[in-house]
Amino acid sequence: MTLRLGDIAPNFQQESSVGHIDFYSFLDGHWGVLFSHPADFTPVCTTELGFTAKLSEEFNKRGVKAIALSVDDVESHKNWIQDINETQNTTVNFPIIADKDRKVSELYGFIHPNASETLTVRSLIIIDPNKKVRLIITYPASTGRNFNEILRVIDSLQLTDHHKVATPANWQQGEDVVIVPSLKDEDEIKQRFPKGYKAIKPYLRLTPQPE
């Protein structure tokens, strides 16, 4: 299956490091970050899972639930988590799906045959509370993910869902944003953006980030 932006993320049931998971029940109306790993006891994945655990408070502030996936079994996951906690000085506090039968990997397109016939690639999907796919990023197995970028994208998505703005290149929380070109009524603009805006071009209007 090939997922695209705007698709509804499919539900699944699978065993995990914390027991049986029904994905929709796990999300429970929250934002979700689902990310896959080539295998347990791999060095890059160990650092990624440790860093994700350290971001627990940041995810909670944004109403986001993290859930990982690897093609190894539950017992392997539990042993690996002990290594992650020890080496990364943290506590893994989110599930790792045990996708030994590749059911979820195939459902979400995490197996890329030209990269590996059996191992999942390093993919990450952001899902909104309506279960829509909002971001898909796939890294090569040798490159660890930038989870600060994941938080930045979540901030952008949550902001732009509630205001008629977009976020420019390299935008960070608190910086100016772009008024969407489709918004042209000056009275509505004044109402929505009382701090005013700067028109660099008619289609490029910057305004302070709405609260």
Q: What pLDDT shows up at residue 112?
A: 56
97: left (phi over 0), alpha (psi -120 to 50) or beta: beta
The amino acid present at 193, given as its one-letter code, is: F
Q: DSSP letters along the chain, please?
A: ----TTPBPPP-EEEETTEEEEHHHHHTTSEEEEEEES-SS-HHHHHHHHHHHHTHHHHHHTTEEEEEEESS-HHHHHHHHHHHHHHHTS---S-EEE-TT-HHHHHHT-B-TTT-SSSB-EEEEEE-TT-BEEEEEEE-TTS---HHHHHHHHHHHHHHHHSSEE--TT--TTS-EEE-TT---HHHHHHH-TT--EEEETTEEEEPPP-
Looking at the annotation, which residues are catalytic?
45
Annotation: CATH topology of 13-145 = Glutaredoxin (3.40.30)
Q: What residues does each domain of the chain span? A: 13-145, 163-207
Do the first three CATH levels of 13-145 and 163-207 match, i.e. the same topology?
A: no
Joined together, the tokens standing for residue 55 give: 């971001």
Q: What pLDDT shows up at residue 110?
A: 83
With a cut of 70, list the residues of the chain below it in pLDDT: 1, 112-121
Q: Could you tell me the pTM of the whole model?
A: 0.92
CATH 3.30.360.10 fits 163-207, yes or no: no
Residue appearing with tokens 């929250």:
30
Q: What are phi and psi of 158, to 5 degrees?
A: -70, -35
